[in-house]
Amino acid sequence: MKVAIVYFSGTGNTYRVGEVFKEHLLSTNHEVDLINVNRQTIKLRGYDLFIIGSPTYSKAASKKVVDFIHEYIDDEQNKSKDFITYITHSWGEAYGHITLKKHLSKLVYNVINAQPFLMPNGFYMMNHEKNTETEIEALHRNVMEKVKNMMDAYFNSQSQIDKKSVVKQAIFETMYKALSKSWIPNFANKYLSIDNKKCILCKMCVRQCPNQNIKIEDSKIVFSDYCLACAKCLNMCPQNAYRANNKTFEQYNVIQPSIISQLK
């Protein structure tokens, strides 16, 4: 079977879950491509199964992934294929996997499994707490078990759609759309700043920003007003020069590589 795992990820969680799906499928002799929505420029074809993952933003799915479904997956050739959706979230209830299912179902795709994954919080400078190492390890172990269960269910032809209120899903999607027009695009300008004593103008954030929202002008980092609030820049800055709400942000180092290597 040929599988496309399609994801968007700011702080590494959704990527990490995609990677676990990939490792699991490779170990059971399937062909797998792990595809970042930011790097794909042509329609996806020739896959038997699509696994589509997104971070949760305001309880909904990232606009990047929803737009990608319409632009690069919607194709007559994919109509008879199977789909699995997942979202990663860090607190409370999340509805993004159901948002993705709704968009795919409207396009007449067959979504067999839709599940949330609770992950370490990469947005804790704005909301809730930073996770401890013990919590992070437990969350990553849970990912491995859940991925295995999801794929076992899929290969046993069992549907596993997480039950969620469709009314709440629609409300949260509408709220996220409204925030995407106002608060979110200005997030970096409003809440982020750079410690210029630490910044070495390495341009890593400029290159890695998924929406090209970061530039260097007059030897300083500046933000435009099309931020996604994905928190990638803060988490991956090699100098930890980013400040959030005027405070130094204590990074997780993206996907906690030391912990992940221990779990392998």
Ligand X SMILES: Cc1cc2nc3c(=O)[nH]c(=O)nc-3n(C[C@H](O)[C@H](O)[C@H](O)COP(=O)(O)O)c2cc1C
Q: Rule CB under 6 A: which residues touch ligand X?
A: 9-15, 55-59, 88-92, 94, 119, 121-123, 229-231
> What is the closest distance, in whole angstroms, from the C-beta atom of residue 172 to ligand X in the complex?
8
Closest to ligand X by CB, 5 or 231: 231
What's the full length of the chain, in residues?
A: 264
Closest to ligand X by CB, 78 or 236: 236
Closest to ligand X by CB, 47 or 124: 124
Closest to ligand X by CB, 15 or 83: 15
> What is the closest distance, in whole angstroms, from the C-beta atom of residue 162 to ligand X in the complex?
14
Closest to ligand X by CB, 4 or 234: 234
Closest to ligand X by CB, 56 or 169: 56
> What is the closest distance, in whole angstroms, from the C-beta atom of residue 160 to ligand X in the complex?
20
> What is the closest distance, in whole angstroms, from the C-beta atom of residue 81 to ligand X in the complex?
24
> What is the closest distance, in whole angstroms, from the C-beta atom of residue 252 to ligand X in the complex?
9
> What is the closest distance, in whole angstroms, from the C-beta atom of residue 155 to ligand X in the complex?
26
| DSSP notation for the chain | -EEEEEE--SSSHHHHHHHHHHHHHHHTT-EEEEEETTT--S---S-SEEEEEEEEETTEE-HHHHHHIIIII--GGGTTSEEEEEEEESSS---HHHHHHHHHHHTT-EEEEEEEEE---TTTTTSS-PPPHHHHHHHHHHHHHHHHHHHHHHHTT--EEPP--HHHHHHHHHHHHHHTTTTGGGHHHHHEEE-TTT-----HHHHH-TT--EEEETTEEEE-S------HHHHH-TT--EEETTEE-----TT-HHHHHHH-
